[in-house]
Structure 1
C-alpha cells in the first residue's frame, strides 16, 4: 500500500498529527515489535481454532488469567471436532470453573465449532465477513482471527488502538475516524504482525499511564502527546466490579449445578450465597431471576411447580 493509497481514505481533520512519511512510521512500529514483545502462547500459533478460543476468553478477562485457562482448554479439547464431541454442560462448567465470565460465551464457542464441522467441512472460513457467520463471533473477533490465523484481516481497532491513535496523531474521539486512520496506517498484507504490534504498543508503552521512554516507544518522534505533554485519551467505560455482581453469582450457580444432577431453589441458594434466606432480600425471588437469565441463555433448564422449582444444566 502506497502513502497515496493510504491517505486517500482519510478525511481532513482525521489525523492532524500524522507524519507524511508513513513508511517510516510503519517500519518503526514493526521493528519495535519484532525486537521484543510479550510472549503469549496464542501468538505462537496460526491455528484459527486456538486463536478463536483465545479471543473469546480474552473478552473482559485479564490476559495473565487467560493463559492457563487457554492451555487447559486446548489440552482437553485440542480441535474444533473435539469440542463438538464434548458435552456442552462440561464446556460451560469449565468456563465457570476458570472464572472466565459470561458463560454464554462457552455455549457460543461450542456452537461455532459445530458450524465449522458441519457447514465448513472442518475448515475455518478465512475472511472477517465469513467468520462473522459463526455463532457469537462479532466484527472485532472475526477480524482478529482473520488477522492472526490467516494474515487476511483489516486493521484492528480496540480500546488500546484508539488510545494510541488519539495520543500519537491527534485523531478525534470518533469511531469512524479511528477506523479510517487505522486502515490507512496498516500496510497491505501484513495484518498479522501489524495488528499484534499496534495492540502491543497500546498495552505496553501507551497504556492508561504512558511509559514512552521506559518501553522505547517507536513513535515518540512523531507523537503529538509526547511533544505536547498532553496524554489525555478517549473515555473508556469502567468495567463493573465482579465481586458481588450478578455475573459472579451466575457463575456460582453453574459450578454448583455441574456437581449435581439437579437442585431445588433452597438446596441451591446456600451453595452460592452464605446469607441466602428463602424469603429474604437474597432469597427465592432473587435466585429465580438469576436462573431465568441463565435459562434464556440456554445454559440450564428450570422446571417449577407451585411448591418446588428444580434447576439443572442443559444437556
Structure 2
C-alpha cells in the first residue's frame, strides 16, 4: 500500500475504505454499551453527559446524570437554579472539578439568554458556551445534531495508532480520523470508534473476545505489537487539593455560612500546622477566584459561603 493508492499513507486502500467503515458501524449497531444519553438526540442532556464524563468513568456518571436531569429537566430549569445548588449537587455526587458545575450553569444561562433556549448546532458555535472546549463542542454537535467532525480522544488515538500505525502526533491523529469518518455520519461513527477503543482496543486489548471488526486490517493484530501512546496518569485524588476543595463545597452545602475556624476542622481531621489557617485561606481564596464561594468579613474572622 502506498500513499498514492489511498491519498493517505495510514489508511487501507481506497477500495477497502467502505468495508472498513461498514464493519465498524455494523459491529457497533449489533451490540454496544447502553448509556442513557446514547438514546437521545436532545442537546441538553447530551451536554450534561459530556461535561460529567470529563475525567470521570462513564459507569459512575449514569446515576448522577439521571439525578441531575430529574432535578433540572430542561436548560431553562438549570439556568433558573441558584449556582450554589448546582455546585453542591456536583460535589455531593463526587463528580470532581466543581468548576465544571459552574461552567455548565453559566452555559445554560447563555443558551437561555443569548440563544432563546435553542442550542447552537455546530462545533464552532458551541465553543462560544462557557466551559465548552473543542472536544465537548464537537461531541455535542455530533451526538445531538449529527453535525460534528471526527472525535479524537485517548481511546480513538489508541485505535488509530494500533490499527493503522498512525504516529503519536496530534495533527496526524486529527487528519486520519477526519479522513476515516464517513461524511454525514458523525453521530454513529464517533460513538462507534470510541466504543471500539473502550471495549476492544483498551490498554490491554481483547481483539478476539470483543470481536473487533478491524482485525483483518489492523497493523497491531498482524504484528502482535500492541504498544500505544502514553496515557497521562491521573493524579491521586486521596489527600489531594482537589479533594479538599470538594469537601469545602460539600460542607458549605450543609451550612449556609461558616467562619474559617469552624470550616477547617470540618474538612480535615488533621487541621492545623502546615494544613492550618494559612493553608485553608489559600484553598478558600482559590475557590473564590473560581467564583464558587464568597468570603465575607465577620465580627472576628472571615466567613465563607457558597456563591449564589
Q: Sort the TM-score into its range (normalised by shorter chain).
A: over 0.9
Alpha-carbon distance between aligned partners in 2 of 1:7 and 1:48, rounded to the nearest angstrom? 36
Cα offsets for 1:84-107 (capped at 9, x unmatched): 111110000000000111111111
Whether 1:25 aligns to 2:29 is no
Query: Helix, strand or coil for the counterpart of 1:301?
Result: strand
Determine the structure 2 residue equivalent to 1:58: 53
Determine the structure 1 residue equivalent to 2:181: 186
Which is bigger in relative contact order (C-alpha 8 A, separation at least 6)? Answer: 1
Question: Which residues in structure 2 correspond to 1:1-315 (within 5 Å)?
Answer: 8=7, 10=8, 13=9, 15=10, 18-20=12-14, 21-277=16-272, 280-304=273-297, 308-315=301-308
Tell whether the 8 Å contact from 1:264 to 1:310 is kept in structure 2 after alignment. Answer: yes
Alpha-carbon distance between aligned partners in 2 of 1:141 and 1:151, rounded to the nearest angstrom? 14
**More deviation, 155-164/295-304:** 295-304
Alpha-carbon distance between aligned partners in 2 of 1:246 and 1:141, rounded to the nearest angstrom? 25
Tell whether the 8 Å contact from 2:6 to 2:12 is kept in structure 1 after alignment. Answer: no
Tell whether the 8 Å contact from 2:293 to 2:304 is kept in structure 1 after alignment. Answer: yes
Give 1:305 shift: 7.1
Alpha-carbon distance between aligned partners in 2 of 1:255 and 1:73, rounded to the nearest angstrom? 16
Cα offsets for 1:40-84 (capped at 9, x unmatched): 000000010000000000000111110000000000000000001
The 1:73–1:7 alpha-carbon spacing in structure 2 relative to 1, beyond 3 Å, is farther
Give 1:307 shift: 5.1
Cα offsets for 1:205-240 (capped at 9, x unmatched): 000010000000000001000000000001111000
Query: Helix, strand or coil for the counterpart of 1:140?
Result: helix
Give 1:270 shift: 1.0
Tell whether the 8 Å contact from 1:19 to 1:222 is kept in structure 2 after alignment. Answer: no
Tell whether the 8 Å contact from 2:6 to 2:13 is kept in structure 1 after alignment. Answer: no
Alpha-carbon distance between aligned partners in 2 of 1:86 and 1:7, rounded to the nearest angstrom? 53
Cα offsets for 1:173-197 (capped at 9, x unmatched): 0000000000000001000000000
**More deviation, 281-290/300-309:** 300-309
Query: Helix, strand or coil for the counterpart of 1:302?
Result: strand
Tell whether the 8 Å contact from 1:265 to 1:311 is kept in structure 2 after alignment. Answer: yes
TM-score (structure 2 length as normaliser): 0.96
Tell whether the 8 Å contact from 2:91 to 2:246 is kept in structure 1 after alignment. Answer: yes
Alpha-carbon distance between aligned partners in 2 of 1:151 and 1:165, rounded to the nearest angstrom? 22
Give 1:260 shift: 1.2
Alignment length (residue pairs): 304
CA RMSD of aligned residues (A): 1.5
